[in-house]
Amino acid sequence: MIQAADFQRALQLTLLSPSTKKEWDIRTADLNRPGMQFCGFYEYFAFERPQVIGKVEMTYLEEQPPAKRRAMLEEYFSFDIPCVIICRGMRAPEELLMVAAAHDVAVYQTDMLTTKFTFNAITYLNRCLAPRVTRHGVLVSVDGIGVLLTGESGVGKSEAALELVRRGHQLVADDVVDICKVADNRLVGECPEMVRHFMEIRGIGIIDIRTMYGVSAVAQSRSIDLVMNMEQWVAGKAYDRLGLHEEYTTILGVQVPSQTLPVRPGRNIAIIIEVAARNLSLKRLGFSAAKELDKRMQEMIRKRAGEDAED
């Protein structure tokens, strides 16, 4: 369900004709321009979508005689339309406002060009309708890379995030991370508004990161590019020391690169997370230190094998 008030506020719309409907049952992040409907074609009419009236539709309406225009609009508004948005700051015909009010349909106005408004509205609806899940963890932005820190309570996620903030990076969410799938291969995480910018440090209590370190120390949302699972160091357990094999964590059907980060006294976890984020950036550019080292070793083996064959 899309909240009418949130839709109006997010897209900065002016209300021309109110409605008693507080929310709309919109299930797809798309819009409809009713040019064909004004011409009388209703064989296919996506009436369940927000209706956008641009220059073409408005010009056609204004050219019709008042009686015909009223009849066209009566048929158009007989469908269960969620709302109508008039773009370019154009004036709404009196008949449109009257018929919309009679059918309890909200009419909005925006100064934006039709194309720009369509883009903004689809982006907003995509965000609202995206699949969501809430995870326990800490989300930080390290050089623009969104790193989700997971692990058992008390392992040191918040302390690592605090050190990263001190090193100039940004906190997105502490303890609770709301994750939404905004594309087939992209996840975005944010903090619930109630606890946004706050962090819990055991032994100290709740601190406000924005107030303490400034607005540059926090971010409202960030894509999740890397998951680092923090766990207490287990003696004898084999941890990855080369990084040749990629590991992934699946969240909402999206595979995200992941790494296990063993924690023990003496390890600077914040610097390790920072290095992991920068290493991921290099991998995206096509450079892998582990593969480069493996390549050099293979070349050395082949070279020595050739020398032994000559002897």
Catalytic, out of 9, 91, 136, 304: 136
Type of residue numbered 191: C
136 is catalytic: yes
Report which of 121, 167, 176, 124 is spatially closest to residue 142, judged by C-alpha positions: 167
Number of CB atoms found within 10 A of residue 84's CB: 23
68 is catalytic: no
CA atoms of 83 and 172, how far apart (whole Å): 34
Catalytic, out of 22, 184, 237, 241: 241
DSSP class of residue 49? S
Q: Dihedral sign, CA of 3, 5, 9, 15?
A: positive
CA atoms of 117 and 178, how far apart (whole Å): 27
> Do residues 161 and 209 make contact, with C-beta atoms less than 8 angstroms apart?
no
CA atoms of 243 and 259, how far apart (whole Å): 9
25 is catalytic: no
Pair of tokens at residue 42: 């209703």
> Do residues 8 and 87 make contact, with C-beta atoms less than 8 angstroms apart?
no
Enumerate residues 6+ apart whose C-beta is below 8 A from 160: 138, 149, 230, 269, 270, 273
Catalytic, out of 33, 49, 69, 157: 157
Number of CB atoms found within 10 A of residue 114's CB: 22
70 is catalytic: no
Catalytic, out of 175, 178, 283, 291: 175
> Do residues 4 and 19 make contact, with C-beta atoms less than 8 angstroms apart?
yes
CA 54 to chain centre: 28
Q: Which residues are part of the catalytic machinery?
A: 136, 157, 175, 241
